[in-house]
Structure 1
């Protein structure tokens, strides 16, 4: 078996990043070396290149709303140098030099989570809605039955119409054209990310997908059927958070970034799309439990970043951007190959940066000491601990899983609940359940002590089998960081009465089976009904219309 001897080289650090917010720009002229654009939670979009192993910023925008998606135009021509960034309900377009050439303030009420640009057409996904813009004007829209996770656009044969391949949160994949549903299918693995093959034609609807259970598959649409083919089983792999492409002398690879911090390369047979098989896989464990610093991978793409040879460019949740480069290239581009002037300049920059940080630290320390000694009344507000979290239903014996991702290492977690529950946690932490002070008490108090450098953690909870649950259960989780200041972030989870509904797999409905129907009449509003359902069922429920 071939071995890829890849080594990590750190490039820069930005703010917290969301999935699919790092893009590599195509090369210009005779040089193969490429620039890349990255958007972060602070609302800063910057375009960088690497020179002598140091980042060089070409443009950088001012802070604003969190950037949730970055995309490049798909068509060949003038738009290949255009960078589109989505933040809130706005989409802005920038040139390679950082000039703002277009801005769209959409009518959507929710944050834009994904988008696609093909020629002069922009497809925007926000919550359950998809909006299609042509020449900066909204042409049509479509409302899905659940949240839209990702989108890919294709042109219709012998037509200017655009067809969309969408992934839906209810484990569905659909094809939409001109604001109308063409076909749909159910995929058991729950696909969440799409990657269109590099060699596919723009009119051929096909894409690889990464799923929540860790599996990799392939979607194809041949009128009138949409088909799915699983290429790699999930097994014990983490959920797929991002997909990209990596090319070298062996061919095109599908690069996969996962929630557990691992990166995989799959050498695929792209010449025969109908007979796609996994022919080679390579797993590079970016962070493992022995190093105690795992965090999700948010973007992974291949390109010529640090030199004339291909490498993997990776972005993580906390904003670390680094490359995975062949060890032979690193040895050839060692310190001996760097000019003396470049080394002197690099050392001067590092000394200046250290001096600036020392001065900033001293100023902040003096400011804090003055505020504590001041007799004036005031409130000291520590910074909010930046944590991303989600509550997902598992399919094994009714466990509900809460996932936490922190920008800084965590020290401890405190879990409190008024009802007794079973608790499991990750193997990077030590769980301790405190016995109740009163033998008749039903309260739960548990502590989770994390290992050094832990940024990613999950806990699983479920009610005891003998417990009688008559309503939803509120669980309080307090997260403490490992460093100063010693502040706590309080998170509240509402556990539903019926945690088993996520075990139900959809698929094709049997129309011959009898249906059970429950009718409730009375003086109540739609909001009250929605509140009752959220108390009983897990997950994000669809927003009902006023006539329901």
Structure 2
């Protein structure tokens, strides 16, 4: 693997930024060979600047207006893209590279523009659910998506058979890419996670112009070919990179030859601040060559020659508004004989200027603080609460069946209070430097968790991992207090759903033994959709169009599946896990009762599904029991090792435990309550099996736990079959 050395350089700071809010314009020519950086922020300011002697020099800067949520570049087919387009609210404005505004276009979207792509005379914009296609500012195509649209691109017209045939591609929250033809959905491509960003591979879609690189909200990246290829039709998945290091979700992508090896590299920016460079070393599969972590979400990433014509650099923007660079230019330091670092005259002048600016700002802060204290003592004065925006995500990770809660603000965080009215577990995160303290709770009062994270200085982003229990549902609340005066706090609330560990998918295995739950009654499709949305995550707010609706889910913890089909007056649920059916029956009945709707409920149970579910749990339970046993032996084995000159007398199995001691303990620490959670699922399965038969077997639970402590699959199956 080729090692890369990139040095960080800070350009400037703007207001908070949104995804895809920054671009690098092409160089103007010989007279001005350096490229310019274009940034739009949430204060509504669009600015274009170049770098001169490491200082930003503005070409133009607009006045503050509505929040800019997308910035895009446009130009003729096959030509230079240097026309600037910015989307704010439901409007799109166009600017020349000199800053002259040539377009103000009010789209007919009923919602704000969320994503945008410009291709020659075609303007493609999307709201949360709506896609509109304009040609020469005339509305020609429209599509209403069944799920939220996260991003949009268009296959390049220069590689299309017809330059009138635009092929938009929508990245949707239901784990699909939707390939459009006019106003119609041509077909869908299923992805391993919800795509949060898509780009043309190699900036032009590859050889055929139809290759799309995507990044998902759970941290995966991949490449898919979306149209006809050779004598095959339909999508071809070329490669996929798993999120083995449990990094953040992908927010931004770019293609640029930063390693100067003649092959475009893939640049990746994530919501946990990680920047990665992937190269292609004589293979079609990407290999990571560089990784660096910032303290803030990376909202946009591009590369070019911005500061020095001889050196490439990666330019990125963060949520808090920093415009940074990772440059290939060596940042050398001269060290004197006494060990002191010698700086160039240019750097010395810059350091002196920065020190002077810091002193001036400190004086201003002290003056304003004194003025505030004087005004606060005046009985007639009113203290205004400062407003601030929070960038937050609550995402389910399939790999470890846990939720990742990330909270980010522009200023430093003082502390965050997490409160839950349902039982949840907080998991350790290595990159979390905050100090956590727990307060005593009263579960009988509906308070199961009260934890405070005290953050270190200059921390603007906090990430927390949470594991929920299916069947237990309620609210999780986060109270964030930043380091500002006067003290203020922002509350964000997240729903813990009854089937919180289920995740959307698009395939259902009919060969598995399934249990069936059927609900009939006088309810509308919208009402039953609201009940299902209350139970399951990753569903659209609005009921999809059509006579019947179908959603398929898989359990991230057990790999069981759930098929939901419903329409006006009828809902059918299929699952190979009887506990899933039991939870749905209880919650849906309760929701219908609230609406005073009478339901006819029927359950068709398959006894074979019990053994099937136990077999799915078996490898996980066996592994956790073995891990717990190994961890218990470590201390005793270490004592033997300390007292004996050699451990050769130990069996190979015990010697291996000693060698892997740190790894085993770290793994065990990362899985708190994992064994108890599996015990709980088997207990629920046991109770639910007999509950549907009208038998209460809670008195047999201690006997079941005793069998689990001395686990044997055959004994467990026998107990399930004979217990009554």
Q: Which TM-score tier does this pair reach, normalised by the shorter chain?
A: 0.7 to 0.9
Structure 1 residue 219, shift from structure 2 partner: 1.2
Q: How does the TM-score come out when normalised to structure 1? A: 0.86
CA distance in 1, matches of 2:250, 2:86: 22
Cα gap change, 1:324 to 1:418, in 2 (>3 Å): closer
What residue is the counterpart of 1:544 in the other structure? 543
Structure 1 residue 16, shift from structure 2 partner: 0.9
Contact 2:427/2:465 (<8 A) preserved: yes
Structure 1 residue 96, shift from structure 2 partner: 0.6
Alignment of 1:324-363 (within 5 A): 324-328=326-330, 336=344, 338=346, 350=354, 353-354=357-358, 357=361, 360-361=364-365
Contact 1:496/1:537 (<8 A) preserved: yes
SS at match of 1:80: coil
Contact 2:4/2:290 (<8 A) preserved: no
Structure 1 residue 178, shift from structure 2 partner: 0.8
SS at match of 2:114: strand
What residue is the counterpart of 2:167 in the other structure? 163
Q: Say if 2:226 is the partner of 1:221.
A: yes
Contact 1:400/1:499 (<8 A) preserved: no
Out of 313, 316, 319, the residue aligned to residue 318 of structure 2 is 316
Out of 260, 285, 291, the residue aligned to residue 284 of structure 1 is 291
Alignment of 1:135-534 (within 5 A): 135-154=136-155, 155=157, 156-196=160-200, 197-198=202-203, 200=205, 204-223=209-228, 224-236=233-245, 237-248=247-258, 249-251=260-262, 252-268=264-280, 276-278=284-286, 280-287=287-294, 294-308=295-309, 309-328=311-330, 336=344, 338=346, 350=354, 353-354=357-358, 357=361, 360-361=364-365, 364-376=368-380, 378-395=381-398, 399-424=402-427, 426-427=429-430, 428=432, 429-436=434-441, 440-444=444-448, 445-463=450-468, 469=472, 472-502=473-503, 504-507=504-507, 517-522=518-523, 526=526, 531-534=530-533
Structure 1 residue 141, shift from structure 2 partner: 1.0
> RMSD over aligned Cα, in angstroms?
3.2
Cα gap change, 1:433 to 1:362, in 2 (>3 Å): closer
Residue-by-residue CA offset, 1:97-136 (whole Å, 9 max, x unaligned) = 1111111111222222211111011100211221101111
Residue-by-residue CA offset, 1:265-300 (whole Å, 9 max, x unaligned) = 112379xxxx7322x42223133xxxxxx2211111
Contact 2:218/2:395 (<8 A) preserved: no
Greater strand proportion: 1
Structure 1 residue 190, shift from structure 2 partner: 3.3
Cα gap change, 1:330 to 1:392, in 2 (>3 Å): same
Structure 1 residue 312, shift from structure 2 partner: 0.9
Alignment of 1:62-101 (within 5 A): 62-73=63-74, 75=76, 80-101=81-102
Cα gap change, 1:329 to 1:538, in 2 (>3 Å): same
Structure 1 residue 163, shift from structure 2 partner: 0.5
Greater helix proportion: 2
Contact 2:421/2:447 (<8 A) preserved: yes
Cα gap change, 1:189 to 1:463, in 2 (>3 Å): closer
Contact 1:6/1:325 (<8 A) preserved: yes
Residue-by-residue CA offset, 1:217-256 (whole Å, 9 max, x unaligned) = 1111232302223342221232211101222421321111
CA distance in 1, matches of 2:333, 2:303: 20
Structure 1 residue 203, shift from structure 2 partner: 6.5
The alignment of Structure 1 onto Structure 2 pairs a total of residues equal to 523
Structure 1 residue 544, shift from structure 2 partner: 2.5
Cα gap change, 1:525 to 1:204, in 2 (>3 Å): closer
Q: How does the TM-score come out when normalised to structure 2? A: 0.66
Cα gap change, 1:200 to 1:417, in 2 (>3 Å): closer
Cα gap change, 1:200 to 1:463, in 2 (>3 Å): closer
Residue-by-residue CA offset, 1:21-64 (whole Å, 9 max, x unaligned) = 11000011114310010011111110010001000111111112
SS at match of 2:384: coil
Structure 1 residue 216, shift from structure 2 partner: 2.2
What residue is the counterpart of 1:120 in the other structure? 121
SS at match of 2:382: coil
Radius of gyration: which is bigger?
2
Cα gap change, 1:136 to 1:355, in 2 (>3 Å): farther
CA distance in 2, matches of 1:546, 1:180: 14
Q: Which runs of 5+ in 1 are unaligned?
A: 288-293
CA distance in 2, matches of 1:478, 1:45: 32
SS at match of 1:225: coil
CA distance in 1, matches of 2:67, 2:281: 38
CA distance in 2, matches of 1:354, 1:454: 20
Q: Which runs of 5+ in 2 are unaligned?
A: 335-341, 547-567, 569-724
- Please say which of residues 67-76 and 3-12 is displaced more in the overlay: 67-76
What residue is the counterpart of 1:23 in the other structure? 23
CA distance in 2, matches of 1:311, 1:51: 15
